Structure 1
Amino acid sequence: MTDPEPLVADLLLDRHVTPEQEQPLTDALTALGYSPSVRVLPPRRAVEPLTWLILIALPLQAFLTTLGEKAAEDGYGLLQKAIRAIRRPAPALAPTPVPTPATAPPPVVLQDPATGLRVILEHDLPDEGYRQLLTIDLTQYRLGPLHYDQARGHWRSELDEAQLR
């Protein structure tokens, strides 16, 4: 009998992501049965900054199913802890700023390579958001990105909602 092929998760990292930030994510993905492949983005000359520091490309529905199966195990908790620990790098010689949208910790983005659908995991995603994510039916979304609306208490895609209007 042959061993099943390992599941691959491609991590695309901004060059500012430190090894201390990367390692918990790769450990969590490994604990969930994925083989992380890490690439660092080259420096960019774009005017607008990246809105994320870490993009994880993997089959989303399979990943969420695995995450649900491992909810009581270490892999789920490791992923949650790693995402909550991500911080935007502070500019050199700058005092510690009051958090603003520009300095708030960036989200981790999950992207399905087959559909391009993205799920935004904010650093302050509540436990209820993680629980709902485990049971979400991704086939009902076409455009994305999905984000957890804390005021409404559920996952949504504003672009998909606008298209339905």
Structure 2
Amino acid sequence: MSRPDVIEADVSFGRDMPRDMSQRFLGTLSALGVHAPSPRPNVRSIEMLLILVILPLQAFLSSMGEDAYRALRQAIEDLFQASGAGGHKAAFQDRGTELQVLLEPGLPEEAYEQLHSLDLSRFASGTLSFNHGSKCWLWHPADGETAGG
């Protein structure tokens, strides 16, 4: 039975993720109020992802304070560094809409700050990625969707 103040998540790690790093990341999520009851084994089907976290995304992002964002950012950067994840990304996916937020190595702190205040209800599904040139999050609609709705 889940507690109301705990966010339930499904977590999958890429096939090359060292076990100690995956356990450390799960510990960080736990400290942020996220419980992954049974992390899935490392999987090959997420070839381009270092990690996939499926949870109620807006609730997760809006519940975190500034220190929590720093802890999350550091935990993700540690995963990237430990795995030598050239070209790989971390994905946080909304359980309801399947909207994905893609995080890449070296994202600036401002990206995480913007993510905290972003209203995800504006996006039905698709992908959000940070554009370094415009210094903002860009929405990439899923197949069959348009930017206008």
- Answer whether TM exceeds 0.5 for this pair: yes
Task: Give the Cα separation in 1 of the matches to 2:27 and 2:41.
Answer: 17
1:59 counterpart = 2:56: yes
> Within 2, Cα distance between the matches of 1:118 and 1:43?
19
RMSD: 2.4
Task: Tell me, in whole angstroms, the C-alpha distance in 1 between the residues paired with 2:74 and 2:87.
Answer: 14
| Aligned with 2:88 (options 88, 106, 109) | 106
Equivalent pairs, count: 142
Q: Which runs of structure 2 are paired with 1:1-165 in the superposition (5 Å)?
A: 4=4, 6-37=6-37, 38-43=39-44, 50-67=47-64, 70-72=65-67, 75-87=68-80, 89=83, 104-159=86-141, 163-164=146-147
Question: What TM-score comes out, normalization by structure 2 length?
Answer: 0.82
- The alpha-carbon deviation at position 105 of structure 1 amounts to 5.0
* Structure number with bigger Rg: 1
What percentage of aligned pairs have identical amino acids? 30
Which blocks of at least 5 consecutive residues in structure 1 are unaligned?
Answer: 91-102
1:57 and 1:113 in contact (8 A); partners too: yes
- Structure 2: gaps (5+ residues): none
Post-superposition offset of 1:24: 2.8
Structure 1 residues 5 and 152: alpha-carbon distance in aligned structure 2, compared to 1, 3 A threshold? closer
Tell me how far apart the structure 2 counterparts of residues 136 and 71 of structure 1 sit (CA, whole Å): 14
Residue 164 of structure 1: how far off its partner (Å): 3.3
